[in-house]
Amino acid sequence: MEKVTEYFGSMVFDERIMKATLSEKVYKSLKRTIDRGTPLDISVANAVAAAMKDWAIEKGATHYTHWFQPMTGVTAEKHDSFITPAPDGRVIMEFSGKELVKGEPDASSFPSGGLRATFEARGYTAWDPTSYAFIKDGTLYIPTAFCSYTGEALDKKVPLLRSMEALSRQAIRVLKLFGNDTVRSVRCSVGPEQEYFLVDREMWKKRKDLVMTGRTLFGAKPPKGQEMEDHYFGSIKTRVAEYMADLDKELWKLGILAKTKHNEVAPAQHELAPIYKTTNIAADHNQLTMEVMKKVAEKHGLVCLLHEKPFEGVNGSGKHNNWSISTDTGINLLSPGETPYENAQFLLFLAAVIKAVDEYQDLLRLSVATAGNDHRLGANEAPPAVISIFLGDELTEILEAIENDTPYGGATKEKMKLGVDVLPQFSKDTTDRNRTSPFAFTGNKFEFRMLGSSNSISCANIHLNGAVAEVLEKFADELEKASDFESALHELIKRTIKEHKRIIFNGNGYDDKWIAEAEKRGLSNLKTTADCMPKICDKKNVEMLTRQGIFTEAEIQSRCEIMLENYVKSVNIEAATMIDMARKEIIPAVSKFASDTASAVAVKKSVCDSACRYETRLVSELTDLIDQMDEATTRLEAVVEELKKIEDVRSQSEFVRDEMLPSMDKLRAAADEAETKTASEYYPFPAYDELLFGV
Ligand code: ADP
Ligand code: MG
């Protein structure tokens, strides 16, 4: 058997390969571009392209593609082969620097939210040399950013890179104030934990809802769900274990640091976590991971469901965005230090995150908003749509002591004057691990838990980085002017805690009492995509995002539009699928069962003198449910028609929230009840117990 250390990264054009295949001059020049963003000379690009092509061909590749992340949320690719005709009628394999650096996909069918006028349908893709090229399925993949010809971002990578730069810029200013002049850049890193479901492919095929929408739109509760809590961390079934082993191998070949795998809470639910990486690479890798998860599942006769809520009544799937910021010299700025001095710096960064999360609650909420994730946020297993920060008791007590000028600490009970020599040490580990908090401090990083399993992690990190950069900028502005740095620092941290402590909550986020308490504190509770998405256009958000150079105003408007459109379209497809399944499958099946049962009454009565109470009651109940389903379907059909008449996307999204989703719930309720009364052999597709326990 091949060794992991040997095949890890074997499909990646990484440092090792660059060093081996490029001349020293070209390698150094490319490194400068990767590390410092210096523009790339065309002669260097040509040399890199030639080396990449030779390496790729040796690995069996015939094509290359500019791989990008349009606003659809999934990745896009168009494959071109390396072939070029030779004079003798044969072909040679070519790939130029120009082809490496820039591509021009016909971009007119990607969502642009009005950014790209139809007369200028072209967009271009530009190589992102900070993310390694790789080979997948016989094609050389080149990670790229996607822009319009006028330079507006049409993807999620460009703003992510911009947000990382903004954060770095402001964090460096703050570090300078602490006397740190050697730091050249500050990076943010992310380790995204990815949840998913596996179901049997043959069963999946029989369910139009799963095939069309990724989630079940019908399905009565199975006799057993997750109440026994026997699946979480349970021993992994052979078929699943084989899938996971295969998945690890494919990911490792692509240089993805897949590290942890286990069963999750719901039956058929699992998790995969990689080791954290710089955010833009983590984002690329997470997109790739989701793709590979689906592909590998096919080979095993399985389907990997990445929808946030594939099954009603059991947990949905999320993605935990473990986020930290650190210097290029290797210091994690969210790690409490060894000395009081370092701790003062830590507390300032902590205060910045607290303020950023409080002031931009809406931006964080909307960064994870999709029709799918709306089903999860606020349901029992996921953080609520209310954002709060968990800090743990120890840190919270320290902040309270600073705020109130009261003593803190065990025996010595020192006053928390935040100078640099008095601040006591505190322990790194917050032992208390709160699983219900949407934004939890976990010792040296924050875990943002509201992301849906199918979300790109880019949006959440764009907004998070932007918000923190904005606060750090304000902090730096204030502290740079101060005559006495230490007192100014103390006052700033104290004031920040006072003003923003409402966002800190260490209790149970799933408790209804918390929702009421959060409302009293004035925290926002934006339940649906229709509620939160328009907030991206609020003045304070536009000001922050444009000032930090992350989006232009036009880009913000377009994103709002695209995300709302996406919400409306997703739900609309679900509604159409429900109508189809109800009319063509469920109602006919239940009706057939009812009439067969009714016929049985006639037969029975001809042989014995019975009232046939069971059959009679059943037929009457089924008939009633059939009528209810028919009425609910008719209503839903009308709603689908009404939606077509609404023109602007905001009104459409509100209509979807207020009319379409409730109508769908009504139809489902009737159908699910009918399912519990219908003999299995009549039911047209696999039920929940078969899907959840069928692998
Ligand atoms: P848990 O399920 O207990 O939260 P996991 O081990 O499943 O923990 O996931 C934790 C994730 O956090 C991993 O992806 C890990 O690499 C990542 N992580 C650890 N340290 C950091 C850090 N400093 N910055 C960002 N992510 C981190
Ligand atoms: Mg985990």
Contacts of 361 (CB under 8 A, 6+ apart): 387, 503, 523, 524
Residue of 276, 281, 321, 432 to test ligand 1 pocket, by largest number of atoms within 8 Å of CB: 276
Residue 459 CB: number of other CB atoms within 10 A? 25
Percent of the chain beyond pLDDT 90? Answer: 79
Give the tens place of pLDDT for each residue, 627-657. Answer: 999 999 999 999 999 999 999 999 999 999 9
The pLDDT mean for the chain works out to: 92
Dihedral of alpha carbons 663, 583, 570, 110, sign: negative
- For residue 39, which amino acid is it? P
Does residue 576 register a pLDDT over 90?
Answer: yes
pLDDT for position 484: 93
Does residue 118 register a pLDDT over 50?
Answer: no
Q: What are phi and psi of 409, to 5 degrees?
A: 115, 160
230 C-alpha to ligand 2 centroid (Å): 17
Does residue 411 register a pLDDT over 70?
Answer: no
The pLDDT of 138-150, averaged and rounded, is 91
pLDDT for position 178: 92
pLDDT for position 395: 86
Does residue 426 register a pLDDT over 60?
Answer: no
Alpha-carbon distance 512 to 330, whole Å?
A: 42
- Evaluate: CB of 322 within 6 angstroms of ligand 1: yes
Alpha-carbon distance 692 to 420, whole Å?
A: 56
Largest CA distance in the chain: 103
Alpha-carbon distance 638 to 642, whole Å?
A: 6
Does residue 230 register a pLDDT over 90?
Answer: no
Alpha-carbon distance 327 to 346, whole Å?
A: 13
Report the length, in residues, of the chain: 695
- 271 CA: nearest ligand 1 atom: 7
- Asked if residues 105 and 99 have their Cβ atoms less than 8 Å apart, the reply is no
In the structure, what pLDDT confidence band is assigned to residue 425 with cuts at 50, 70 and 90?
low
- 192 CA: nearest ligand 1 atom: 14
**In degrees, to the nearest 5, what angle opens at C-alpha 344 toward C-alphas 338 and 346?**
75
Between 109 and 286, the more confident residue is 286
Between 49 and 265, the more confident residue is 49
The pLDDT of 164-176, averaged and rounded, is 97
Alpha-carbon distance 682 to 678, whole Å?
A: 7
Residue 344 CB: number of other CB atoms within 10 A? 21
Exposed, middle or buried: residue 101 (CB in 10 Å: 0-12, 13-18, 19+)? buried
- Evaluate: CB of 193 within 6 angstroms of ligand 1: yes
From 81-90, 280-289, 374-383, 600-609, the region with the lowest mean pLDDT: 374-383
Element (H, E) at 262: strand 258-263
- Asked if residues 539 and 556 have their Cβ atoms less than 8 Å apart, the reply is no
Contacts of 79 (CB under 8 A, 6+ apart): 63, 64, 65, 139
Q: What domains sit in the chain, N to C, each tagged with a CATH number?
A: 4-155 (3.10.20.70), 163-551 (3.30.590.10), 566-693 (1.20.120.1560)
DSSP state for residue 62 in the 8-state scheme: -
452 C-alpha to ligand 2 centroid (Å): 15
Report helix, strand or coil for 614: helix
End-to-end CA distance of the chain: 27
- Evaluate: CB of 318 within 6 angstroms of ligand 1: no
Alpha-carbon distance 462 to 163, whole Å?
A: 5
Q: What are phi and psi of 237, to 5 degrees?
A: -65, 150
508 C-alpha to ligand 2 centroid (Å): 19
Alpha-carbon distance 145 to 125, whole Å?
A: 5
232 C-alpha to ligand 1 centroid (Å): 18
What are the angstrom distances between the C-alpha of 180 and each of 185, 534, 604?
12, 40, 91
The pLDDT of 669-675, averaged and rounded, is 98
pLDDT for position 37: 77
pLDDT for position 421: 43
- Asked if residues 297 and 304 have their Cβ atoms less than 8 Å apart, the reply is yes
Give the tens place of pLDDT for each residue, 73-95. Answer: 789 888 999 999 999 999 999 99
- 276 CA: nearest ligand 1 atom: 16
Between 289 and 418, the more confident residue is 289
pLDDT for position 432: 54
The pLDDT of 272-284, averaged and rounded, is 97
pLDDT for position 676: 96
36 C-alpha to ligand 1 centroid (Å): 27
- Evaluate: CB of 529 within 6 angstroms of ligand 1: no
From 100-109, 178-187, 198-207, 668-677, the region with the lowest mean pLDDT: 100-109
In the structure, what pLDDT confidence band is assigned to residue 121 with cuts at 50, 70 and 90?
low
Strand 389-390 and strand 407-408: the pairing is: unpaired
- Evaluate: CB of 189 within 6 angstroms of ligand 1: yes
Report helix, strand or coil for 534: helix
Report helix, strand or coil for 511: coil
- 433 CA: nearest ligand 1 atom: 3
pLDDT for position 87: 92
Structure-token pair, residue 235? 């021993």
DSSP state for residue 197 in the 8-state scheme: E
- Asked if residues 208 and 574 have their Cβ atoms less than 8 Å apart, the reply is no
191 C-alpha to ligand 1 centroid (Å): 5
Contacts of 451 (CB under 8 A, 6+ apart): 192, 318, 319, 320, 321, 368, 373, 457, 460
pLDDT for position 420: 45
Q: b/e for 546-584, b at 16 or more Cβ within 10 A?
A: eebebbbeebbbbbbbbbbbbbbebbbebbebbbbbbee
pTM of the model: 0.94
Alpha-carbon distance 255 to 7, whole Å?
A: 9
- Asked if residues 563 and 555 have their Cβ atoms less than 8 Å apart, the reply is no
Residue with tokens 């932007």: 466
Give the tens place of pLDDT for each residue, 495-553. Answer: 999 999 999 999 988 888 999 999 999 999 999 999 999 999 999 999 999 999 999 99
Percent of the chain beyond pLDDT 70? Answer: 94
What are the angstrom distances between the C-alpha of 201 and each of 297, 302, 368, 384, 690?
9, 5, 29, 32, 12
- Nearest CA owner, ligand 1 atom 2: 193
190 C-alpha to ligand 1 centroid (Å): 8
